[in-house]
Amino acid sequence: MAGFDLSGLTASFGGERVIGPLSLKVKAGEQGALVGKSGAGKSTLMRLIHQHVNRNSSLVPQELGLVNALPVFHNVFMGQLDQHGNWYNTVTLMRPFSRDKDKVRELLKALGMAEKLWIPTASLSGGQRQRVAIARALYRSAPLLLADEPISALDGPMAHQVMQLLKDRFSASVFALHDVDMALAYCNRIVGIQDGQIALDEPAERLVASDIMSLY
C-alpha cells in the first residue's frame, strides 16, 4: 500500500498538546514535504504517521537509529530484519548470503559508499552515517518512504543525488525538510506545519520560496 489516509492525529507532551488534531492523506505518486520552523511539530507528526503505517513504510529517522557495534552491511540489512525468520537473521549475522551482500553493495554504490560495506558504523562521518540510514530504507523496499531531515548532513551535490534517488525509488514519500528550496525542487506537495497544525497544503508548482517563509 503506497500512501495513507489518517485522521484525528494528536500528540501531547507534559500534558500539553503539541500536534493536532489533524488529518493527512498522501496518495501514490505524491512526494510530500513537511516544512516549518524547528519545534513546529514536523518530527512528531512523522513519528505519528510511522506508528500507523509501520510495516508498509521505509523510515529514515532524524536520529538515524544505527547500531555502532555492527558494520555497515548489517545496519543496512536491518531494513528487512522483520521479513526473515530468526534462523536466517542469525546466519546473516555470522555469514551473510551472497544475494544479500550483492544487493546491499549495489545500494551503497548508488550512495557513493560501496567500499564501506564492512567498515564499523561507529567510524563513519555524520554524512556517511546518514547515507547508511538511507540505504537501510531503500533496502526495506516498502512502497512508502518517511524521511525526517534525510539530507541534513550531506553536501550540495550528494544531497541532490540522494533526493533524486529517493524520489525515484518510492511510490509515495513524506519528507520533513528545513531546506525550502530542496522541498520545492523534489516534492510535488508542500505541507506547512505551524504550532502543531497544518497551516499550508498546496501543490509545489503553485508556490515559491517566499510563500513558505512565513512559516519560519
Chain segment 61-87, per-residue pLDDT in tens: 999 999 999 999 999 999 999 999 999
Specify the CATH number of the domain 4-215: 3.40.50.300
pLDDT of 13 reads 87
> What H or E segment, with its residue span, contains residue 17?
strand 16-26
Torsion of CA 170, 101, 131, 112, to 10 degrees: -100
User: Do residues 124 and 76 lie in contact, with contact meaning Cβ atoms separated by under 8 Å?
Assistant: no
Number of Cβ within 10 Å of residue 82's Cβ equals 10
- Supply the pLDDT for residue 2: 81
Residue 55: what pLDDT?
84
Residue 196's pLDDT is: 93
For residue range 4-40, what is the model confidence (pLDDT) as tens digits?
999 999 999 888 899 989 999 999 999 999 999 998 9
| pLDDT recorded at residue 182 | 97
- pTM for this model (two decimals): 0.94
Give percent of the chain above pLDDT 70: 100
Strand duo 197-203 + 189-194: pairing: antiparallel
The neighbouring-strand residues paired with 169 are none
Q: How confident is the model at residue 1 (pLDDT cuts 50, 70, 90)?
A: low
Q: 190 phi and psi, to 5 degrees? A: -115, 125
Predicted local distance difference test score (pLDDT) of residue 15: 85
